[in-house]
Amino acid sequence: MLDFAIGNFNNVTYVILMMIGFYAMTGKTNLVKKLVGMNIFQWSIILFIVSLSAKRGATIPIVLGSHDHGETPVIDALQYVNPLPQVLMLTAIVVGLATTGVALALLLQIYKQYGTLEEDELLEKIQTSG
């Protein structure tokens, strides 16, 4: 029971982080807070998938002893951490950067046009002016 708890408690941590981001996206009415909530949600998923690549007693996925000239080193798959989830999450991080940049640009234009960033005041102004 105890080693089950030790082996699986970090999944509970990632779910708690995910739910903090989810509550900020749906429960707050300010647009900047919703954007921060989306960022927290996305980063919790990236951390969760990177944690799937861990291996007990293994080292980073760079081949040891590769600079001795002329001999190819012996590579054992149990000695190195799984590189595949980390590679896919590199792409996800850069996509998150581009999404946050475009969302901030949209927020700047909304503030210039309507003068407010609260969701209910924005809905009133859109309905009375358009």
Distance of CA 19 to the CA centre of its chain: 13
> HSE of 104 in the Cβ direction (CA atoms, 13 Å)?
8
Residues 86/53/22/5 CA torsion (nearest 10 deg): -160
Q: Which of 1, 2, 67, 130 binds another protein (CB under 8 A)?
A: 67
Q: Is 18 in the site for another protein (CB under 8 A)?
A: yes
For residues 55 and 78, what is the distance between their CA atoms, to the nearest angstrom? 8
* Segment (H or E) for 7: helix 2-27
State the binding string over 27-66 for another protein (x if CB under 8 A, else -): x-----------------------xxxxxx-x-xxxx--x
Q: Which spans of this chain sit near another protein (rule: CB under 8 A)?
A: 3-4, 7-8, 10-12, 15-16, 18-19, 22-23, 26-27, 51-56, 58, 60-63, 66-67, 72-73, 75-78, 80, 82-87, 90-91, 93-95, 97-99, 101-102, 104-106, 108-109, 112
